[in-house]
Amino acid sequence: MTIQMVDVVGQYRKIKAEVDAAVHAVLDSGMFILGKDVGEFESAAAKYLGVGHAIGCASGTDALQIAMMAFGIGPGDEVITTPFTFVATVETIGILGAKPVYVDIDPATFNIDPSRIEAAITARTKAIIPVHLYGQAADMDPILAVGKKHRIPVIEDAAQAMGASYKGRKLGGFGAAGCISFFPSKSLGCFGDGGMIVTNDSALADRMRMIAAHGSRVRYYHEVLGVNSRLDTLQAAILRVKLGHLDEYNAARRAAAGRYNAMLAGTPVTVPAIASYGDHIFHQYTLRAPKRDALDAYLKEKGIPHAIYYPVPLHVQKAFAMSGGKNGDFPVTEKAASEVISLPIHTELTEEQQSVVAGAIREFYARA
Ligand SMILES: *Cc1c(COP(=O)(O)O)cnc(C)c1O
C-alpha cells in the first residue's frame, strides 16, 4: 500500500472532467494573463470568505510581501510574529529590510500567544502577523484588541487555513489584510504556485492591487514601487473549480483527523488540540510525540511518510541572525520544535492507510 503525505493527483482525478474543461477553455481563449477567470475567481473567493476584496497574486509569499509593502514597511521597522511558522512569514519581513520580532506560542495550538504580544511592541512596530498554523486560527480577538489599542495593523498569515474559521467567521478578513497560499498541498491548492490577499478596506485593496501590478493603475504610469505578481489565469480557472469543493475537502481532512485521534488513543502522543473558539481544517495533523527523533527514525525505516513542521525555530535560523535570537529565547516554541511530528493527511486518505500509520506508531511505543 502506498501512503502519501498529500495526494494531489488522486484529488484531481475525481474532478478531472471539470478541471480539464476549465483548463482547455483558457488554452482556447489565448488569454493567459489576468482576464475574466482571475476576476471571477477573486469574486468567488471574496464571497466565500465574506470579505470585500480579494486580489490574486503569484504566491502566498508574495501576498505577505505585498500586504507589508502596502503599509510601507521597510528598514528600521519591526514586525511582530511567531518564530514557529514556515519561513515565508519572516523572510518577507527581512526582504523589506524590516526586523522580525518574535513572540512565543501557545503550547496547545502552536499559534502566537496573544498575552505576550503587548510586551513586544515598540515605537517601531508596524504590523502584527499572526499565523493560523496547521489550519487552525490564532486567537484573533485579543490580537486585534492589542493591535487596535496601539494602532498597529494586523496581517493574517492564513496560508495554511483557507476555509477555517474563528468564532463562526472565515479567517482572512479579521485583520487589515489576510494572506492566502494556493501551493498544491494547501487546503485549496492549485497546480503550481498561487496566492491571494484579502481585505475589507477599499483603499488598501486598491493599493495592494497597484503594488502587485508594477506599482501602476494605468499601464506605464507607475505611482509606487511595485512588483510583478499575478495569479496565473490557468491557476485561477482551476481554483475556481476547486473552490466549489473546498468545504467538502476540509470536512474530509477533519474526518481523517478524528479517525487518527481514535486510532492513537492510549499511546503517549498528544493529538492536536482544537481551540473552543474555532474549527481546524487540518492542513497538517501534528502530534506532540515523546522520543520524537526516535519515532521519526522508526517511521522512516518502516517507509511511513511523515514530516516535521518545523524542526528549527526561525529565531535560531542563520538567515535571520539580524533578529539576534538564540536558543532559550522562546522555550515554548523550542519545545514544540523538538516534539512535533506531522502524519499524512489529505482528502484521499483512507481509514486503511491511516491504520497502517497509527499501527506503526503504536508499535514504536510498545517496543520502546
Ligand atoms: C505556504 C506558506 C506560505 C507561503 O506560501 P507560498 O504560496 O508557498 O509562497 C506562507 N506562510 C505560511 C505559514 C505557509 O504555510
Which residue ranges make up each domain of the chain? 8-103+110-243, 246-367
169: exposed, middle or buried (C-beta count within 10 Å: 0-12, 13-18, 19+)? middle
Given this model, what pLDDT does residue 78 score? 98
CA of 68 to the centre of ligand 1 (A): 15
What does the radius of gyration of the chain's CA atoms come to, in whole angstroms?
Answer: 21
Look up residue 279 and give its DSSP letter: -
For 248-276, letters b (16+ CB in 10 Å) and e give: ebbebbbebbebbeebbeebebbbbebbe
Given this model, what pLDDT does residue 228 score? 98
Cα 294 to Cα 289: distance, rounded to the nearest angstrom:
10
Determine whether the shortest distance from the Cβ of 342 to ligand 1 is under 6 A: no
User: Is-contact 290 324, C-beta < 8 A?
Assistant: no
- Give pairs for 241-247: CB < 8 Å, separation 24+: 241/15, 241/18, 241/19, 241/22, 242/15, 242/19, 242/188, 242/189, 242/190, 243/41, 243/44, 243/45, 243/48, 243/188, 245/15, 246/48, 246/162, 246/163, 246/187, 246/188, 247/163
Cell numbers describing residue 136: 487552525
In this structure, what are the phi and psi dihedrals at residue 362, rounded to the nearest 5 degrees?
-60, -45
Picking from 359, 364, 332, the residue whose alpha carbon sits closest to that of residue 113 is 332
Look up residue 326 and give its DSSP letter: -
Closest atom of ligand 1 relative to the 283 alpha carbon: 15
CATH number, domain 8-103+110-243: 3.40.640.10
Picking from 242, 212, 253, 214, the residue whose alpha carbon sits closest to that of residue 229 is 212
- Quickly list DSSP for 70-103: HTT--TT-EEEE-SSS-THHHHHHHHTT-EEEE-
Closest atom of ligand 1 relative to the 132 alpha carbon: 13
Q: What is the CA 22 to chain-centroid distance, rounded?
A: 26
Given this model, what pLDDT does residue 234 score? 98
Determine whether the shortest distance from the Cβ of 160 to ligand 1 is under 6 A: yes
Determine whether the shortest distance from the Cβ of 81 to ligand 1 is under 6 A: no
User: Is-contact 240 94, C-beta < 8 A?
Assistant: no
What is the pTM (predicted TM-score) of this model? 0.97
What is the sign of the dihedral through the CA atoms of 231, 132, 288 and 85? positive
Determine whether the shortest distance from the Cβ of 229 to ligand 1 is under 6 A: no
Q: What is the CA 147 to chain-centroid distance, rounded?
A: 21
CA of 82 to the centre of ligand 1 (A): 14
pLDDT per residue as tens, the chain (368 positions): 799 999 999 999 999 999 999 999 999 999 999 989 999 999 999 999 999 999 999 999 999 999 999 999 999 999 999 999 999 999 999 999 999 999 999 999 999 999 999 999 999 999 999 999 999 999 999 999 999 999 999 999 999 999 999 999 999 999 999 999 999 999 999 999 999 999 999 999 999 999 999 999 999 999 999 999 999 999 999 999 999 999 999 999 999 999 999 999 999 999 999 999 999 999 999 999 999 999 999 999 999 999 999 999 999 999 988 788 999 999 999 999 999 999 999 999 999 999 999 999 999 999 86
Cα 274 to Cα 281: distance, rounded to the nearest angstrom:
10
Q: What is the CA 253 to chain-centroid distance, rounded?
A: 15
**Superfamily per CATH, domain 246-367:** Aspartate Aminotransferase, domain 1 (3.90.1150.10)
Q: What is the 3-state secondary structure (H, E, C) of 234-253?
A: HHHHHHHHHHCCHHHHHHHH
Cα 176 to Cα 232: distance, rounded to the nearest angstrom:
25
Determine whether the shortest distance from the Cβ of 110 to ligand 1 is under 6 A: no
